Structure 1
């Protein structure tokens, strides 16, 4: 007796009791106990029902239960929907609910429809058992995962609806028209899939492209998670990110035929055999290819990855290799900040050294930001942003109307404000710098709402076309460290603030002064009923301060595709502003209405560092 038969009495339930996928623990000890007991399986006792929507441990494996003889049309529909959640190779059990023709042609691939709860199913009105040949399957669509494994959240309560046609085949009900993609509840999706980042180049900088792969071997390809991720990287960037990034891999590059698993050797080296499309690449290009792979794979396991080596199709001859140190140089990440900045109680821009002493966890005392701001008499800072090299600052005056760019390296008088359009009466948001040295800011004027970019921080401000605002008003913004995305806090629906990410598109081959645009806004925190503040964090994530529906204000790391919360900050209630950086060794900094500026160093607790301070920022 095997594990499937041993647990064949377990049933799951979505609205009613029905044949279900069997959940078997993937823990060696539990499996051993199960197998040991098969010889004397009890033939009586309670049949326990499992709520499919209650969430299942990711270490639980799921096996399908094939259709029973003379199963009703309702049981065939239910059994098929449940079998789609299984780990069966090639989804074999799910195919048993289909006609022979449909089973042969059904190719759900990596596409997934994710529902916020379970499915409802019912016979199409006008049909009666046993002649109910058409069944409608409905639910509330939460998101879709496309063939590139990219997650796209849905907003506005989009309804999922699919009609399944049943026919009699060999005197048994079978489904002739299965869905074109897998259909999973949110809990099943989270059990089966996990988020990973692929990396592509934008100019000389690596950009994280979040996707989802199977937690275990893919039923279709039989690839393990690492190999699935590499395959997804080679297939190219997600459709959303593709217009602004490039891959170093030549078109058509794939893993060597038959590759199902990739593993590290004793020297923490991952060797990846490729097909012959990459056999003639030059060494500089090959090292960039290996760099994309190293950054893509490094977060998949707790094991340290020190080197990636690319191999020719024979699986033995080396194309090139790259170490962690060499890859870091090629990836060109934003430099680690030396200071953290905020506005003190006297409306001055101050900074604190990030040389936190490990033995006493104490910071240096804050100092005035150097340059004209330190000596300006009567000038009040409302908000600020500092360039990544910490040589310049952009500040908005306390009245919200004037925008100044000042040096932080030499003394001198305050410069004149930048020439924003005449006649505007609204206030300005806090500014943000990108890695190219361009300055971004939004105008809150109700009559002239706009997003502006100042090329190089010194040029004439240019109005940025933002597609998809739909009457919303930008109240806060933050350009990403990679320079190709921007996070926008948009107010709409009577004051509710939602977070979106947009793609920054620059004309190919044009000068930095050419107009740019922001395209394809997508929800970045759809789980939040209201968002108060945000900041870009490590590995392309967003740190978001917001409130879920009916919940309290909290700070959570969110994946930039809006799919899920990666982690919550402990004891983070009462925050109204937040700042973080790509360097995970640096503290999270926040503004608390009660405590002022507070820090959360790695592995420590929150502590107040500046009572009365506000507007915390890192360079960027």
Structure 2
């Protein structure tokens, strides 16, 4: 029912110094902050004479996929009163393409479809939990034609239309240590207003899901005018900077540059305050991510090579070498481990391992290459996990008690009040920035994947807002962080047999299957890290993903026996 125009494809230590900025000036009103241009996406067609109620509803859904401001064609499917009252800016409901409108004798039409998810007014996506979407449109005759009298506020879009029209990009905030930016995925309409919309989202603040776990140096800052892009340089003119001196301005610039760098038309950023360029020692007038490389959300130390456990000993994927110290002897009966890494010194730090000897399970800790001493005992511990921002290791004891082990000091219980009610936790993985945690809990349909936010308040640490991000996957076996905003999951798809590898965004968008070709059996454990090959255990041997193909650790050589792979961070 519509002609389609060209559409964009869906894109799958604070620095020291002093800043010189003018005092203040009045902000200028920003126009078209989040409005899409009229020439991107889908051209809608108006209703035809004599259209049935079902055809009117179909036409309305089609017309909502247009990106023309205010959706004038979609309003033609509404009564005059409804057309004047309909709010098309109240988020987007994304439904499956195989929707069904069914008319009733009274002229109403009930639309049913699978609920893919919802996007709020700030562009944050929440995945559907497998439930159906249903809405009954009341139609009435107006001037001899059927028209909708009760449109739902916001847009309802089919998944393919949504994917063609919107880009997923990250608004970057700051982790509590102030050392790296944290991705907060947002969906924005493609087009020339996207840079302004993205900066606007940044200034408004983080999404509800991650707000309690991040810091926003941009809070209270305003844009004086729309972001202008000229020859791939975006100029961002700000006002109302908070107090905090050069350090605050440094991290604000890092936020802006890392966020805008994702856009196709932006390669550098010029930041001005009240119309005057910022003056940051060591930072050029036109900034790139290279100037803020220390804030890289996916930075991994060179020392972060793959490790695994074999015959009770900790080894590296480099020719199966055993690690130095007690962990490499095999005498401790190790079954899993994690190691911290220092990006500044490129050295490995603390080792925490789980040992099982004679039916007793013990958590051991010590310096990498040194002696390991008993820290805790339990019936079980999950595979230990680390982040790149703090020298500490986390695990879950007996499926319910989340524990963090600092490099210095005693183990501490982390508040996770909702976790016991969700089921025993058998996998717990911190994100590289330490702001999120991916958890696999046992449920009625097997393992379920949840993602929560790590919240730090003075000396109190908690894991909150645990939410399902891959409801279409069942029997989840393991999970690892491929980047700060994406996961690798070992699971079975709904209504399918067997376990395979998948990738999915931290918000649940973009669930894709990875190839299993070359694996000798179903994978049972996975390890990943930014810029590192994915590792899995299949048939009791280790395999790595390179160029979309699974291969042995050393090409041309046989598979290496082992389990519980991981990368130090």
Q: Same fold (TM over 0.5)?
A: yes
Q: 1:378 to 1:331 in 2, by over 3 A?
A: closer
The residue aligned with 2:182 is 207
Q: Is the 8 A contact 1:487 1:502 kept in 2?
A: yes
> Does residue 1:580 correspond to 2:528, yes or no?
yes
Q: Which SS does the other structure have where 2:341 is aligned?
A: coil
Q: Which SS does the other structure have where 1:543 is aligned?
A: strand
Equivalence map 1:423-502=2 (5 Å): 424=378, 426-434=379-387, 435-444=389-398, 449-456=400-407, 458-467=409-418, 470-493=421-444, 496-502=446-452
- CA drift at 1:60: 9.2
2: CA distance between counterparts of 1:25 and 1:462? Answer: 53
Q: 2:332 aligns with which of 367, 379, 392?
A: 379
- CA drift at 1:158: 2.5
- CA drift at 1:281: 7.9
Q: Which SS does the other structure have where 2:67 is aligned?
A: coil
Structure 2 unaligned blocks of 5 or more: 9-38, 280-284, 343-347
Higher RCO, 1 or 2 (CA under 8 Å, sep at least 6)? 2
The residue aligned with 2:485 is 540
The residue aligned with 2:258 is 295
Q: Which SS does the other structure have where 1:547 is aligned?
A: strand
Q: 1:414 to 1:506 in 2, by over 3 A?
A: closer
The residue aligned with 1:597 is 542
- CA drift at 1:501: 0.6
Q: 1:212 to 1:273 in 2, by over 3 A?
A: same
The residue aligned with 2:113 is 139
> Does residue 1:105 correspond to 2:85, yes or no?
yes
The residue aligned with 2:293 is 328
Q: Which SS does the other structure have where 2:564 is aligned?
A: strand
1:433-479 Cα deviation digits (max 9, x unpaired): 2332232111236xxx3322234464134153242553411111111
1:372-407 Cα deviation digits (max 9, x unpaired): 324x57321110000123211101013571000021
Q: 2:350 aligns with which of 392, 412, 415?
A: 392
1: CA distance between counterparts of 2:7 and 2:56? Answer: 27
Q: Is the 8 A contact 1:197 1:211 kept in 2?
A: yes
> Does residue 1:23 correspond to 2:4, yes or no?
yes
> Does residue 1:319 correspond to 2:288, yes or no?
no
Which structure carries more strand by proportion? 2
Count residues with an aligned counterpart: 516
- Provide the aligned C-alpha RMSD in A: 3.0
Q: Which SS does the other structure have where 1:497 is aligned?
A: strand
What's the TM-score, normalizing by structure 2?
A: 0.82
1:11-31 Cα deviation digits (max 9, x unpaired): xxxxxxxxx23224569xxxx
- CA drift at 1:67: 1.4
Equivalence map 1:219-368=2 (5 Å): 223-251=192-220, 253-254=222-223, 256=225, 259=226, 262-263=228-229, 265=231, 269-274=233-238, 276-278=239-241, 282-301=245-264, 305=267, 307-312=268-273, 317-319=276-278, 321=285, 322-331=287-296, 335-352=300-317, 364-368=318-322
Q: Which SS does the other structure have where 1:122 is aligned?
A: strand
2: CA distance between counterparts of 1:590 and 1:279? Answer: 47
2: CA distance between counterparts of 1:441 and 1:464? Answer: 13
- CA drift at 1:328: 1.5
Q: Is the 8 A contact 1:341 1:349 kept in 2?
A: no
What's the TM-score, normalizing by structure 1?
A: 0.76
Q: 2:508 aligns with which of 547, 554, 562?
A: 562
